[in-house]
Every structure is written in C-alpha cells, then in structure tokens.
Amino acid sequence: MYKESTLPNGLRIITHEIQQRDSISLGFWVGVGGRYEEDRIKGAAHFLEHIVFKGSKKYSCEQIKEKIEGVGGALNAFTSEEQTCFYAKIPAKHLTQTFDVLADMILYPKITPSDTTKEKTVIIEEIKMYHDLPQYYVLELLDELMWPGHPLGRGLAGTHQSVGNMTVKDLKKFHRDNYVPGNIVVAASGRLSHQAVLNLTKKKFKGFEGDHRGSFIPAEHLQAKPRMRFFKKDIEQMHVALGMPGLDEKHKDKYALSLLTTILGGNMSSRLFVEVREKKGLAYSIGCSAKSLHDTGAVLIRAGVDNKKIIQAMQLILKELAKIKKNGVGQREFERARDYLLGQLLLGLEDTMEHMLWIGDSLISRDKVKTLKHVVKEFKKIKKEDMKRVAKDILDPKQFNLALVGPITNQQEKELQSLFDN
C-alpha cells in the first residue's frame, strides 16, 4: 500500500512499507531535466547533478560518501530528459542520517568556482567517452534525427562549448529556479514508516517555499519521409539504431505498445532476437523498447551487426516490422509476452530500490502512482487484436529514423537509402 502526503509548501512524499526487508531505498526527485534547458546552458541539469556531490552546507564531499558508504550503503544520481534523481540504498537503521545527507545536498549545494572548473573537465571527458563508445553515440545521433533542432535532440550532458562556458552564476540560478519544494518528490521504500519519513521531511524543508515548474518546448513530429545519418568509424561491428515516434506517458495505448515492443525485441524469445540472431546469425545483440515522455515518446530498435551483413540485417528487421503490421500476433505469443512483462515487473518490485524508482518516477512524472494490481488489470484489458492496430499506427515507414556508427561503405549507404525509400 502506498502512502502519500503533501506539505503546505507543495513538496510531496510517497512511501511503500516492506517490513520483510532489511534495507530502505530513498530518492529525492526533482522535476527538471535536459529538455528544460536553453541552448546556452545545455547540460545544466546534468552538471548540477555532478556538482551537488562536491559538498553542501553541512557535509564535505568526503563526508557525503562516507556517511552512506561507511554504513554499507550505496549512493548515486541520474539525469534524464525530464527528471533528476538523487538516491541511496542503506540498511534500514541508517535512514535518518542518509535522509539528512541527501536533503542537504539538494538544498544547500556549495557550487564553488574551483569545483565548477574541475567538474567541467570531468564532464567534457564524459562527453568524449560517450562519443568513443559507438553503442552510445548511435543513440545520440538517433535523437538528433528524431527531434531535429529541439532540446530532446541534443545530448543530456551538453556540448564542449555549453559545458565549458557554464558559470557558477548559471548553476546557482538553475538550482534556485528548479530545486523548489513544489518541484520535488521524496520517495522511499523498505522497512520504514510513512510517518518517520514525513517527520524528517517536515523538519528539513521547514521554511522552504516555491512551486515553480519549468516549461518546455512541446515536441512535434512533422516527418514525411525516412531520415538517415551515418557516422563512419573504423570498428569491428556496425551499431544501428532505428527509431520512430512512440506514445506519451498518458496515452491509452501505452501498455499495448509495451507488449508490442516486447514481442518484437524484448527478450530472447522475441521475433527480432529469434530471426536476426538465432536463425540468421546477423547480429550479436538486438532489442526493441519504448519510452514515454510528457508529450511524446519513442520506439527504438538497436543492434550490433556484422559489418558485411548490415543490408541483410536491415532487410530482415524491416520484413519483421511489416509482418507484424500485416498479420498481427498469435494468441500464445501474445499471452507469453504479457506474462513476461508482468513477471518482470513483479520480480523488480521485490527490490526496495526498484520499488522506490517506480513510485518516485510515477509521482514526479504523472502526479499519480498506479499499484501493481491496477497495472495488471490494465494489461488484462489488452487484446491480441490491439497489437496489429498499434503496430499500424506506430510502425510507419515514413516516420523511420536510422542512425549508424561503423565502417559503412558508399555502396552500403546507397543500398540502405534504397531499402528505406521503397
């Protein structure tokens, strides 16, 4: 059972008590991410995620790590397009100390000139690292194709230029504008009481006001023909990513799309894995997934393919997409995919960290948390006929975007263009 509270200043708390666990997972969610940034400060949300670990009003950089890792806990953070999350998993008896450390980090980060200068170098090296890893860089190229000229089409970490020009003043303003109670969710799961977390939150956030929620540029999909981008790199494998517009987080077919992507490439018994890897040996890795954002979404097929077999692999992938649009799916295949998804969700929610991420993300993103029982009910409503209908809506060749990193030849480029133009 989930318990929610909202403080007078707008900050929301959500907890899930699992008394059979020895751990507590705690997360502070801020409703801001990469798509809320202007070009000039692109990467600010990610930069701020880094800088808060450098020290706060009460704790030094070393103390932040020692207070949590020193009791056997784990501490981390991430930035996405729409959220930033700071989280820890700790033995249950250390909740009070861990809460104070995380809260102090996000409320009172020091953001000094020396730390900002040092962290610029670290983040620029991180950007270089992702550009050196073709399996990551291909996704950056795909985002640029899918959302050209839009914040969603630009890397979360920013560019060498935007990070290099970031100032202490920029970071402090970004923090002041976005890290306000009305834009924060505290989520916790494990051996805890809701009242204990509520009391800690009231005490730490007393006197803080503000409910500003940043605005973002709505996403538009005006694509009339397939788009491609190739990045030539002398490596041993072609890394390909095929993307198309998906569904936003409140769309009625969101769960049906999850089932469709599972059937296509969600596990080792999926169509793409069986046909492309098992039967033809054209790829080592291949998968399909969907992501949902506030006002848009994406479906992604990614694969690592033999350099000489890229055309065969893409032909087969496109053939499988056309087949599921035309013929739909069988009843057994449909039920197997549904049971797999629900089973994975059930197993994941046994872990306090996964459960914290589930409830925190739901509340900060959609202002509502659905129970496992509700989600199961939603999946049970889906019929196998819905797969064909959703496939026809989503798998539109005119909306395909193909990014590729690898030693592609001019001839292969021409053949891929021809394949997608037909």
Which residues are catalytic, by number?
49
What six digits make up the tokens of 226?
């397939």
How far is Cα 261 from Cα 248, in angstroms, rounded to an integer? 15
Specify the DSSP class assigned to residue 219.
Answer: P
Question: Which tokens belong to 304?
Answer: 């690592």
- Neighbour tally for 307: CB within 10 Å: 14
Task: Transcribe 375-419 into DSSP letters.
Answer: HHHHHHH--HHHHHHHHHHH--GGG-EEEEEE---HHHHHHHHHH
The 10 Å Cβ neighbour count of residue 308 is 11
**Structure tokens of 278?**
């098992």
Tell me whether strands 283-292 and 297-306 are parallel, antiparallel or unpaired.
antiparallel
Measured CA to CA, the distance from residue 108 to residue 125 in angstroms comes to: 27
Q: Give the list of residues 6+ apart from residue 312 with CB closer than 8 angstroms, or none.
A: 280, 282
Residue 80's alpha-carbon distances to 12, 122, 319, 378, in angstroms, are 20, 19, 33, 26
Sequential DSSP letters for 23-38? EEEEEEEES--GGG--
Judge whether 19 and 193 are in contact, CB under 8 Å: no
Task: Determine phi and psi for 288, rounding to 5 degrees.
Answer: -135, 140
Q: What is the DSSP string of 244-311?
A: EE---TT-TTHHHHHHHHHHHHSSTTSHHIIIIIIIT--EEEEEEEEEE-SS-EEEEEEEEEEGGGHH
The residue type found at 8 is P
30: which strand partners? 84, 184
- Residue 116 CA to residue 391 CA, distance in Å, equals 47
Helical pair 44-51 and 168-178, crossing angle rounded to 10 deg: 90
Cα–Cα distance between 357 and 25 in angstroms, integer? 9
Locate 51 and state its tokens: 């800088």
